[in-house]
Structure 1
Amino acid sequence: MPTLPPDRARNSGHDPHQLREVAVSFGSEAERYDRARPRYPDAMVRRIVAGSPGPDVLDVGCGTGIAARQFQAADCAVLGVEPDARMADLARQYGVEVDVATFEAWDPVGRAFDAVVAGQAWHWIDPVAGAAKAAQVLRPAGRLAAFWNAFQLPPEVAEAVSVVCRRVMPDAPFDFQAMPKRALGGYEVLFGRAADGIRELGGFSDPEQWRFDWEWSYTRDAWLDQMPTQGAFTRLPPDKLAAVLEGVGAAVDAMGGSFTMRYTTVVVTAVRTRGPAESD
């Protein structure tokens, strides 16, 4: 499941996990989402696996199974939990076992895991209830790891997105004007909520942040394919979406038809210091 634009989280008056209508809006473009969304650094996957006591992984908000398949490739046994049946169906087609449920309401039926991970998804979950469910299913010394891909558009593309979105979507609850200046700092509210939920629950080590910097080259068509999968655009009427994509596409064309995106993948992680029987 994808990241809610941080400005929505900050300005809407709601925590992201209360915006369920956005959280379940991505399944209408499940195949595009799986095709266009960025993957995660292999170094991140290896570090999470190395820091966990075994290979059994629970992927929370697994979406189409992007992260799950990366953990499978690292010799992990992965179960996904996903609230959108359309996303779950596609994940199953790619070989990921998935239970359809919100994480807070999901019944683990006595199953236990060595790691609970969540890619682009933990902000859709109540941070304390989510930490509590993770604590319930983690084995002793099991690891909770929530991670996000934070991106920084090149200034020319960011400015084009900002201008066209303010024109086409003047009443949208997103601060598009801040986009050209927003980088990793715009996501700090998500990282902070995740860490605070873990600390409030107790029974975990103090949360850490791991950071992985990387780059990816996009053609015009590849970027325009990804944009409709982002939270600001998933419920936009087709005519308005077309106007946004036209304006952004023109800006990328003016740059030569491609650009390099800078990504920072941030992991908020902690180790379970008490087993389920010892929970508060």
Structure 2
Amino acid sequence: MPAPPPPPPPPPAAGPSRAAESHRMRDVAEGFGADADRYDRARPRYPAALAEAVLSELPGSRILDVGIGTGISSLPFRDAGATMLGVDPDVRMAEVARARGFDVDTATFEDWNPQGRRFDGVIAGQTWHWVDPIAGAAKAAAVLHPGGRLAVFWNAGDPPTDLAAAFAEVYRSVETGLPFTPWTAPQRDGYAAFLDRAEAGVREAGGFGRPQRLRFDWETTISRDAFLEQVPTAGGHDRIAPENLAKLLAGLADAIESAGGTFTMRYATLALVSPLT
């Protein structure tokens, strides 16, 4: 079954300053569990090549997943043989991850107590922008074995240009209360700001060598229903009034129907991998 698209960018995509503020938006960061089962069904997975590239450089296979959510980010690493421990502040998301066999501690990463545990790698999929970039990097360095790495990554996808413009127009026509208008700029460009922010945090925290950027391009065909299933799981969408969310989904459905009922989403999985010194 084709993977649905990533969410419209969270607030940082609206401008460079928001990338520095997102970790303070706790109401948004901890709102994804409002419908954890939908989130788990609808969010895109990560390419196996990402996990293979990260694991190939580690001294071992014990991995800490920061913001594990429902376990989506851990799946390719476990499939490649890694032993996973997750940390997530949302008990609803953690319950889904535990149901698929992951051990999860419930806490924000900044406040989490490792209790002496150490890891070969620390990963974060689609979550590092909700973590203080300096405190998070320092915490990662403190729990890594020598030779370990911090790997943070995001899925970013762009529909055809005309359809993205149609999506943006639908968002403008509905009172969403969001502090930004999704789909007004290429997703892959917007998410690059997250890598810049993460790299700045790593450099300021110290303890890491020169970060490496990785990119994995892929694409898939998205149906109208798959897209509409995913939209409510995007950051801040759980706070849209039900009647306005219904209008938003109806408008997006019409846009996709006008484009033929399906469309090709071109993805890039973008990663920043920082080696411990």
Please indicate, yes or no, whether the TM-score normalized by the shorter chain is above 0.5. Answer: yes
Q: Count matched residues.
A: 271
The reply on whether 1:114 has 2:120 as its aligned counterpart is yes
1:269 maps to 273
Corresponding position of 1:141: 147
Q: Distance in 2 between matches of 1:231 and 1:23?
A: 7
**2:12 counterpart (6, 30, 33):** 6
SS of 2:239's equivalent?
coil
Given that 2:94 and 2:106 are in contact with CA atoms closer than 8 Å, whether structure 1 keeps it comes out as: yes
Residue 30 (structure 1) shift: 0.5
Deviation at 1:187, TM superposition (A): 1.8
Note if 1:42 corresponds to 2:55: no
Contact 2:28-2:236 at 8 Å conserved across structures: no
Shift of 1:157: 2.4
Cα deviation digits, residues 180-199 of structure 1 (max 9, x gap): 43232212221111001111
For each residue in 1:8-61, what CA deviation from the matched residue of structure 2 results, as whole angstroms up to 9, or x when unmatched? 463559611010110011101100111000001111110011111111000000
- Name the counterpart of 2:213: 209
| Alignment counterpart, residue 52 of structure 1, candidates 51, 55, 58 | 58
Q: Report the Cα distance in structure 2 between the residues aligned to 1:5 and 1:263, rounded to whole angstroms.
A: 20
How do 1:191-270 residues align onto structure 2 when only pairs under 5 Å count? 191-270=195-274
Alpha-carbon distance in 1 for matches of 2:207, 2:19: 30
Q: Which amino acid aligns with 2:60?
A: G
Residue 68 of structure 1 corresponds to 74
Question: Of 151, 157, 167, which aligns to 1:161?
Answer: 167
Are the aligned partners of 1:9 and 1:15 in contact in 2 as well (CA < 8 Å)? no
- Coordinate RMSD, CA, aligned: 1.8
Answering whether residue 24 of structure 2 is matched by residue 23 of structure 1, we say no
1:270 aligned counterpart, secondary structure: strand
Secondary structure, counterpart of 1:197 in structure 2:
helix
Q: Partners in 1 of 2:54 and 2:39 — Cα distance?
A: 24
Is the partner of 1:234 in helix, strand or coil? helix
Whole-angstrom CA distance in 1 between matches of 2:74 and 2:162: 34
State the alpha-carbon separation in 1 of the partners of residues 221 and 195 from structure 2: 26
Is 2:100 the partner of 1:94? yes
Task: Tell me the amino acid that sits aligned with residue 219 of structure 1.
Answer: S
Give the Cα–Cα distance (whole angstroms) in 1 for the partners of residues 273 and 75 of structure 2: 20
Letter in 1 for 2:27: E
SS at match of 2:167: helix
CA 1:35/1:170 → structure 2, altered by over 3 Å: closer, same or farther? closer
Which residue matches 2:83? 77
CA distance in 2, matches of 1:240, 1:90: 28
The CA distance in 1 between the partners of 2:147 and 2:17, in whole Å, is: 37
Conservation of the 8 A alpha-carbon contact between 2:30 and 2:90: yes
Secondary structure, counterpart of 1:64 in structure 2: coil
Gaps of 5+ in 2: 1-5
Runs (4+) off by over 3 Å? 8-14
CA distance in 2, matches of 1:219, 1:234: 22
